């Protein structure tokens, strides 16, 4: 399901009383493309009303519960489906279609077809769906000896999961990093394969919702990670969507209706039929200004 930035009751208020659901969907897709946010700006809540998943995303993988599960901590569940794609640190959304049951389940361990969830709040019946890929996932190398990470999508609302690992010391930095390069763990990393990922408590992260800067806690070696992967939610609830986004959607509906292929035109010429466009996009300068603060940052 794609983004929907105007509800039927808002059509007249934003100057498009004859808009249709199809026109709103088309304009909303243009907005998501301009923002470089395929997940859109709208999140859906869990059973507590907290941000749970991005509404415009479709699941990348869906698993099924063959048996009922009960609330608890470190709940082990056998699942059916493409479990090979699931790794510790992933987040599965249970019963996302049922608001009073929906919740984000953090996978902390995997053994064959058995997944261990950090905690389960609600009882879920046999046949319930577990959907993956409904959050925003980003991986970054942290600055040397600093626990800060910048994400590309704002406003950040909730961090669902975090995993980190210690990397190899940069050339020329041997014996001068934050960890002892000569301990047993260093030997294991050197000869036993790539550094292992470890899950850290995402609720320990502090973040600035507006700027997207996230503080990452230290890991098992009491030193800051080299590399971190976060799964998070960023955007707005449908009820709190800014008017600027709604107005931009309405302006795009009008632009698509007036000139669906060419967008805003600067001048027309009848003889020999010449049309001069303001730009090669239907997103005018005014619409871009309304949306620019929500655009994904390429370099974060």
pLDDT tens profile 36-51: 999 999 999 999 999 9
Specify the residue for token string 């609330």.
Answer: 71
Same domain, 70 and 117: yes
Same domain, 226 and 269: no
DSSP run (H or E) holding 286:
helix 285-291
User: Looking at the domain assignment, is residue 1 inside a domain?
Assistant: no
User: Looking at the domain assignment, is residue 13 inside a domain?
Assistant: yes
User: Looking at the domain assignment, is residue 165 inside a domain?
Assistant: yes
Whose CA is closest to 38, among 6, 62, 3, 5?
3
The reported pLDDT for the residue numbered 300 is 47
User: Looking at the domain assignment, is residue 286 inside a domain?
Assistant: yes
Whose CA is closest to 286, among 259, 248, 253, 257?
248
pTM here is 0.87
Same domain, 21 and 92: no
- Please write the tens of the pLDDT for every residue from 143-193: 887 899 999 999 999 999 999 988 765 544 555 555 555 555 555 555 566
CA dihedral over 154, 158, 161, 163, signed as positive or negative = positive
Domain that holds residue 256: 8-42+237-294
The reported pLDDT for the residue numbered 276 is 63
- Contact criterion met (CB below 8 Å) for 133 and 90: no
User: Looking at the domain assignment, is residue 143 inside a domain?
Assistant: yes
Same domain, 184 and 247: no
**Alpha-carbon separation of residue 225 from 184, 187, 193, 203 (angstroms):** 18, 17, 17, 17
User: Looking at the domain assignment, is residue 300 inside a domain?
Assistant: no
The reported pLDDT for the residue numbered 275 is 62
For residue 106, what are the contacts with CB-CB under 8 A and spacing of at least 6?
89, 90, 91, 117, 118, 119, 160, 161, 199, 202
**Which CATH number do you get for residue 79?**
2.40.30
* Axis crossing angle, helix 21-35 with helix 243-258, rounded to the nearest 10: 110
CA dihedral over 241, 242, 245, 248, signed as positive or negative = positive
**Alpha-carbon separation of residue 208 from 156, 164, 217, 222 (angstroms):** 7, 20, 15, 23
| Domain count across the chain | 3
User: Looking at the domain assignment, is residue 51 inside a domain?
Assistant: yes
Same domain, 72 and 153: no
Whose CA is closest to 161, among 223, 238, 216?
216
Cα separation, 79 vs 22, in Å, equals 37
The reported pLDDT for the residue numbered 189 is 54
User: Looking at the domain assignment, is residue 2 inside a domain?
Assistant: no
| Angle subtended at Cα 1 by Cα 38 and Cα 8, rounded to the nearest 5 degrees | 105
């Amino acid at each position: 399901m794609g983004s929907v930035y105007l509800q039927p009751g808002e059509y007249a208020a934003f100057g498009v009383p004859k808009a249709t659901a199809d026109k709103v969907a088309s304009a909303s897709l243009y907005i998501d493309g301009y923002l470089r946010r395929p997940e859109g700006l709208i999140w859906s809540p869990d059973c507590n009303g907290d941000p749970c998943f991005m509404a415009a995303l479709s699941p990348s993988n869906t698993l099924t519960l063959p048996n009922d599960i009960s609330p608890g901590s470190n709940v082990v569940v056998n699942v059916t489906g493409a479990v090979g794609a699931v790794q510790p640190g992933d987040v599965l959304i249970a019963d996302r279609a049922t608001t009073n049951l929906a919740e984000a389940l953090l996978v902390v361990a995997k053994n064959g077809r058995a997944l261990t969830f950090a905690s389960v709040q609600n009882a879920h019946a046999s046949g319930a769906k577990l959907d993956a890929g409904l959050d925003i996932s980003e991986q970054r190398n942290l600055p040397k000896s600093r626990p800060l990470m910048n994400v590309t999508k704002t406003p950040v609302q909730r961090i669902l999961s975090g995993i980190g690992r210690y990397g190899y010391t940069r050339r020329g930095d041997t014996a001068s990093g934050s960890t002892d390069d000569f301990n047993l763990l260093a030997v294991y990393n050197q000869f036993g394969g790539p550094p292992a990922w470890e899950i850290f408590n995402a609720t320990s992260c502090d973040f600035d919702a507006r700027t997207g800067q996230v503080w990452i806690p230290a890991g098992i070696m009491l030193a800051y990670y080299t590399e971190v992967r976060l799964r998070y939610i960023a955007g707005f609830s449908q009820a709190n969507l800014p008017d600027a986004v709604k107005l931009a959607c309405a302006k795009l509906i009008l632009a698509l209706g007036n000139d669906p292929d060419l967008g805003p035109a600067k001048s027309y010429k009848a003889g020999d039929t010449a049309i001069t466009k303001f730009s090669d996009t239907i997103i005018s300068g005014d619409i871009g200004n309304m949306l620019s603060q929500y655009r994904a940052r390429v370099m974060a």
